[in-house]
Structure formats: structure tokens, C-alpha cells
């Protein structure tokens, strides 16, 4: 990894040279049993560094710290404009350290350093600043109650929106820092305390974020970060002193979390899998639709829950369009995330590589044909070729299953009804794309799609102010925008007889 080290700045090398401990009650501490685990560079398979291996006992310690911090009220009752300033400071610190965060993210996750810096880090900063503003805008209402059985007595009734309490937040490895920001910022703006469990594949930027959080002035115990594996996540979801669990990850693990949360009926919000439809009508702007449709499934190497991996193309342009998509995909520069020329990096680890390789075989076994790609790229690291499957049927595994790699399945449709019917034929309902220059058609189709987000003449059209989440088995609740405030507050109704 000498080559890698040369591409890292001094701050990144300094960070990697320090111990990587758990952040509990404002202190950096070893795991209770002293264990550590390795995190790996997915472009080479080489170990980057060791990280504290938090387990259920560490979750207990972190939850106890979060409980104390919630109950002592220092955070929840802090003046909202002070919370606002602290959250704003986190955003500013992320921007000031963008190069450091971007390099560590690229190294740990495999994504290109340019994307990590311009998208992951910059957007995480934006998310903290957006929710900083909400800190001062959490409002209840006064209610004109009728009180039909109370005669002519008078009342003053109002609602308050109060924090839920101790939140457990479990996040995946595809956007490690950004997913932490989506979880932390709204929880903190509304006065909760929390325990964050980053994914075992990509623990590093969450630890950097812990340093920033301390530097910004978040009181001890409000944010606790426990790096570890699924058993630590399971301990959070089952913990009787956790009031809410927020999870982003696979639908399979989402269901385990719902089961585990039953004990104390903690609130649950879930951002789960997807198999999103991207619908291209013959009347689209052809070149824009090609470029956007490639980005739809190749962005982040296909490791995005919104990836537009079911590409529905209107019959009359199917051959020409799919060929153009395949040609554009084949041109992507594949390489190490820290190489500035890289457009497509490696998958995150051996498990994901094996899973995607399984689907590359399944695509052919089920009767499909790869217009481009279909195999591994190179012989080190976890690279796969961007792959476009045609001649696929609705029941093929590459059409029904979430693959989480740079693999798209292209299908035909005849008209609007056929496109909508096929697009909605999925257990998932996270996102969808529509490409047409007929704006009425775009609105009509959007209103019929069973998807939490619909992007017209663009794909992955996210904004911090737009609620995001899934229909069907893609999740419960909405993150981002005002929607996330509902996840982290509960309503108290107060009714006073005057």
C-alpha cells in the first residue's frame, strides 16, 4: 500500500497512524474486551488499519451514556439557537476537512476521491447545516378544543413536539459519512441523544466525524459511536433503554430489526433495498437519457439503494438505446478510488464481490445476454465490469433481485400502461426515473408509480429538503426534509382547564 500512502495527505496519514477507538461519553475508549478488527482497501484487499471491535457490552456502555446525557437535559433543553450553532459548526468543520474526509472515504469504501469529496462530504456538511436551521423551528400548535362534556368551562390546549429520547442508528457502507449525517443531524436538531453503529466494512469516516462532533461542542454522551458488526447492531435494536432505532441497509436485516425492536416497542424507521425502474420513452432527449440512465445504475458502482437497475425502454428505440448505454458504460475508467481519473471503483468487499458475481452468472443462466461486461475486472481487488443485460424476462433473478453492483437489466415496453405496470411489479418501491419531453406524460406517469421518489429527466435527483424513503418493502418513514423531524420527535398534547 506504499502507492496508496503517497496519494494520501498528511492529515489522512496522521489519522491512520492513531488508534481507532470507540467514542463513548465524550471519551475515546477501547472495546470492553480489548478486541479490534481490520478494515480493508477494496481496491487491493490490503488491510488499512485496525479498529476497536465493539460488542453488546460496549453498546450497553454507549446506551447508558446516551441515557444519562438525555436525562440530564443538557442537550434537549439547551437553547435551540445554541444547538443550531453547534450543528452549523459541524457542517463548517466537514467542509474545512473535506480533503481528509474524502481521502479516507475513498480509501475505506473504494469510491473515487473526487465523488467522495464533492458528493459525500459536501452533502454531509449541507445536511448538518439544513438541520441546524430546523433546531429553532420545532413548533407545536394551539388547538381550539370543544370538550363537549365539560359544559361551558374554558380550556387552553396546545401540543409540543419533544425528542423521542435515546436513538440507535445503524448505517451501511455505501455512503458511510453521508448516512451518518442523514441520521445524526435531524436527531440532534430535535434534542435526542444517540448511539451510532457504522458498518464494519467502512468504520473510518464515522470516527473522524466523532472528532468533529467533539470539536464542535456537542456535550459528552450526546453522540456515541460504536464500531462493530451485526451483533452490535442487534444489541442496539433489542436494547430496552433505546427509544428508537433508525436503520439503513438490506431489507433482510430490516426485518430482523423489526423483530428485535418488539421487546420495548421502540419506534422503528427503515431505509431498505430497492430495484428501481428507470423508464425511457421514445420521445426523450436521447443523449441526455443515455447519460442519465448509465449514471442511474453505475453511480457508486451500483452500490446505491436507489440504483435504477430495471431499465424499461420503449420498443421503438430499445435496440439503439441499450447499445448506446452499453457503449457509454464500457468507456468508464475503472481504478483505485484515490486515483483522480477513476470513474468506477471496486465493490466494497469479498462478500459483495461474490454476490455480484453470482448475479453475473445468474443473468446468463436464466437466459439473458450481456451487451457489455459480464465478469471480473483485473485480478486484484473487488472490481467487476459494468454490465448491461438484454433478452431478460420479468422473472429472471437479475430483474427481481437487488444486486448492489454495476449491473442493469434492460426490458421493453409498448405504452404508458405497460411501462407503469412493469415498473410497479416489484416488492420494492424506493425510486423511479422517467425520461420524456412530454411534460403531461411525465406527471401522469409519476403519479402512478409506487415509489418514494420519482425523478424526471434526471436520476438520483436528491435534495436535503426533499423527503426520501420507500413504498412497500423499501422501508418505513421518510428521512431528509421536514419528514425526518417526524422520526425524531413525538407529540405531547396538553389541555388546561382555565
Torsion-angle region of 45 (φ positive above 0: left; ψ -120 to 50: alpha; else: beta): left
Sheet holding 475-476, edge to edge: 27-29, 22-24, 223-225, 193-197, 166-170, 244-248, 267-271, 475-476
Separation of alpha carbons 400 and 398, rounded Å? 6
The site string for ligand ADP over 99-138 (x = CB under 6 A, - otherwise) reads ----------------------------------------
How many residues make up the chain in this entry? 498
Separation of alpha carbons 317 and 469, rounded Å? 32
Determine the 3-state secondary structure of 480 from DSSP.
coil
Shortest Cβ 250–ligand ADP spacing (Å): 4
Kindly tell me which residue out of 42, 55, 91, 172 binds ligand ADP, with binding defined by CB under 6 A: 172
Of 85-93, 178-186, 193-201, 313-321, the window that binds ligand ADP (rule: CB under 6 A) is: 193-201
Is 257 an interacting residue with respect to ligand ADP (CB under 6 A)?
yes
CB nearer to ligand ADP: pick between 104 and 304? 304
Kindly tell me which residue out of 39, 190, 192, 237 binds ligand ADP, with binding defined by CB under 6 A: 237
Separation of alpha carbons 184 and 142, rounded Å? 29
Q: Residue 122 in contact with residue 98, Cβ under 8 Å?
A: yes
Give the burial class of 63: count Cβ atoms within 10 A of its Cβ; 0-12 exposed, 13-18 middle, 19 or more buried.
Answer: buried
Of 52-60, 66-74, 195-203, 486-494, the window that binds ligand ADP (rule: CB under 6 A) is: 195-203
Kindly tell me which residue out of 102, 163, 233, 406 binds ligand ADP, with binding defined by CB under 6 A: 233
Is 300 an interacting residue with respect to ligand ADP (CB under 6 A)?
no
CB nearer to ligand ADP: pick between 351 and 365? 351
Shortest Cβ 242–ligand ADP spacing (Å): 12
Extended beta strands in 309-400, E state: 310-314, 369-372, 387-390
Largest CA distance in the chain: 82
CB nearer to ligand ADP: pick between 130 and 175? 175
Separation of alpha carbons 69 and 487, rounded Å? 20
Is 55 an interacting residue with respect to ligand ADP (CB under 6 A)?
no
Separation of alpha carbons 96 and 78, rounded Å? 26
CB nearer to ligand ADP: pick between 11 and 256? 256
Is 398 an interacting residue with respect to ligand ADP (CB under 6 A)?
no
Q: At what angle do helices 122-134 and 176-189 cross, to 10 degrees?
A: 10
Which of 84, 105, 271, 479 is catalytic? The answer is 271
Q: Residue 267 in contact with residue 489, Cβ under 8 Å?
A: no
Separation of alpha carbons 136 and 81, rounded Å? 6
Q: Residue 405 in contact with residue 451, Cβ under 8 Å?
A: no
Is 37 an interacting residue with respect to ligand ADP (CB under 6 A)?
no
Of 141-149, 165-173, 217-225, 290-298, the window that binds ligand ADP (rule: CB under 6 A) is: 165-173
CA dist list (Å): 294 to 11, 309, 376, 403: 35, 10, 19, 16
CB nearer to ligand ADP: pick between 253 and 324? 253
477-489 per-residue burial string, b: 16 or more CB within 10 A, e: under 16: bbbbbebbbbbbb
CB nearer to ligand ADP: pick between 103 and 169? 169
Shortest Cβ 248–ligand ADP spacing (Å): 7
Shortest Cβ 307–ligand ADP spacing (Å): 12
List the grid coordinates of 306: 436507489
Separation of alpha carbons 211 and 18, rounded Å? 12
Of 14-22, 196-204, 321-329, 428-436, the window that binds ligand ADP (rule: CB under 6 A) is: 196-204
284 is catalytic: no
Q: Residue 100 in contact with residue 130, Cβ under 8 Å?
A: no
Separation of alpha carbons 89 and 131, rounded Å? 12
Shortest Cβ 346–ligand ADP spacing (Å): 15
Number of shown-chain residues binding ligand ADP (CB under 6 A): 16
CB within 8 Å of 182: residues ≥ 6 apart: 127, 248, 479, 480, 484
CB nearer to ligand ADP: pick between 194 and 371? 194
Is 56 an interacting residue with respect to ligand ADP (CB under 6 A)?
no
Is 476 an interacting residue with respect to ligand ADP (CB under 6 A)?
no
Of 73-81, 89-97, 177-185, 225-233, the window that binds ligand ADP (rule: CB under 6 A) is: 225-233
Which of 305, 314, 402, 479 is catalytic? The answer is 305
Is 230 an interacting residue with respect to ligand ADP (CB under 6 A)?
yes
CB nearer to ligand ADP: pick between 257 and 392? 257
Separation of alpha carbons 203 and 455, rounded Å? 31
271 is catalytic: yes
Q: Which residues, 407 to 446, sit near ligand ADP by CB under 6 A?
A: none
Extended beta strands in 55-176, E state: 142-143, 155-163, 166-170
Shortest Cβ 402–ligand ADP spacing (Å): 9
Shortest Cβ 447–ligand ADP spacing (Å): 31
Is 165 an interacting residue with respect to ligand ADP (CB under 6 A)?
no
CB nearer to ligand ADP: pick between 236 and 344? 236
**Catalytic residue IDs:** 271, 305
Judged by the rule CB under 6 A, the positions of this chain that interact with ligand ADP are 170-172, 197, 199-200, 229-230, 233-234, 237, 249-250, 253, 256-257
Amino acid at each position: 500500500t506504499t502507492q496508496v500512502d503517497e496519494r494520501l495527505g498528511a492529515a489522512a496519514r496522521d489519522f491512520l497512524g492513531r488508534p481507532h477507538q470507540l467514542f463513548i461519553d465524550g471519551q475515546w475508549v477501547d472495546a470492553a474486551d480489548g478486541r479490534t478488527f481490520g478494515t480493508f482497501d477494496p481496491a487491493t484487499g490490503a488491510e488499512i488499519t485496525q479498529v476497536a471491535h465493539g460488542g453488546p457490552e460496549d453498546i450497553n456502555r454507549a446506551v447508558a451514556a446516551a441515557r444519562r446525557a438525555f436525562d440530564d437535559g443538557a442537550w434537549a433543553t439547551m437553547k435551540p439557537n445554541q444547538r443550531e450553532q453547534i450543528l452549523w459548526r459541524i457542517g463548517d468543520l466537514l467542509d474545512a476537512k473535506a480533503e481528509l474526509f474524502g481521502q479516507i472515504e475513498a480509501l475505506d469504501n473504494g469510491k473515487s476521491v473526487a465523488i467522495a469529496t464533492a458528493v459525500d462530504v459536501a452533502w454531509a456538511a449541507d445536511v448538518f447545516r439544513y438541520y441546524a436551521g430546523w433546531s429553532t423551528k420545532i413548533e407545536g400548535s394551539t388547538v381550539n378544543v370543544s370538550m363537549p362534556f365539560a359544559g361551558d368551562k374554558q380550556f387552553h390546549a396546545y401540543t409540543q413536539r419533544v425528542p423521542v429520547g435515546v436513538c440507535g442508528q445503524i448505517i451501511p457502507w455505501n455512503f458511510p459519512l453521508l448516512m451518518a449525517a442523514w441520521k445524526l443531524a435531524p436527531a440532534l436538531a430535535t434534542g435526542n441523544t444517540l448511539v451510532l453503529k457504522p458498518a464494519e466494512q467502512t468504520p473510518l469516516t464515522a470516527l473522524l466525524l466523532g472528532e468533529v462532533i467533539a470539536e464542535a461542542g456537542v456535550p459528552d454522551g450526546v453522540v456515541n459511536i460504536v464500531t462493530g458488526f451485526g451483533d452490535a447492531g442487534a444489541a442496539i435494536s433489542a436494547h430496552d433503554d433505546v427509544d428508537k432505532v433508525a436503520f439503513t441497509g438490506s431489507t433482510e436485516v430490516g426485518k430482523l430489526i423489526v423483530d428485535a425492536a418488539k421487546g420495548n416497542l421502540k419506534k422503528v424507521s427503515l431505509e431498505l433495498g430497492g430495484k428501481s425502474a428507470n423508464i425511457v420513452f421514445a420521445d426523450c432527449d436521447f443523449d441526455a437519457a443515455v447519460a442519465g440512465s448509465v449514471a442511474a445504475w453505475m453511480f457508486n458502482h451500483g452500490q446505491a439503494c436507489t440504483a435504477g437497475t430495471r431499465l424499461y425502454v420503449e420498443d421503438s428505440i430499445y435496440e439503439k438505446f441499450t447499445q448506446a448505454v452499453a457503449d457509454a458504460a464500457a468507456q468508464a475508467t475503472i481504478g483505485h478510488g484515490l486515483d483522480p481519473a477513476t470513474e468506477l471503483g471496486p465493490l466494497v468487499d469479498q462478500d459483495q464481490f461474490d454476490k455480484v458475481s453470482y448475479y453475473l452468472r445468474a443473468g446468463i443462466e436464466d437466459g439473458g445476454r450481456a451487451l457489455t461486461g459480464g465478469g471480473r475486472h483485473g485480478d486484484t481487488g473487488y472490481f467487476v465490469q459494468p454490465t448491461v443485460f438484454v433478452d431478460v424476462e420479468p422473472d429472471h433473478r437479475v430483474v427481481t433481485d437487488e444486486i448492489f453492483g454495476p449491473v442493469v437489466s434492460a426490458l421493453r415496453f409498448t405504452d404508458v400502461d405497460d411501462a407503469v405496470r412493469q415498473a410497479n411489479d416489484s416488492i420494492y418501491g424506493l425510486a423511479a426515473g422517467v425520461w420524456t419531453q412530454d411534460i403531461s406524460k411525465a406527471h401522469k406517469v409519476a403519479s402512478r408509480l409506487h415509489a418514494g421518489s420519482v425523478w424526471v429527466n434526471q436520476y438520483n435527483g436528491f435534495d436535503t429538503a426533499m423527503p426520501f424513503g420507500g413504498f412497500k418493502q423499501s422501508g418505513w418513514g421518510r428521512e431528509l426534509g421536514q419528514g425526518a423531524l417526524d422520526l425524531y420527535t413525538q407529540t405531547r398534547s396538553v389541555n388546561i382547564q382555565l
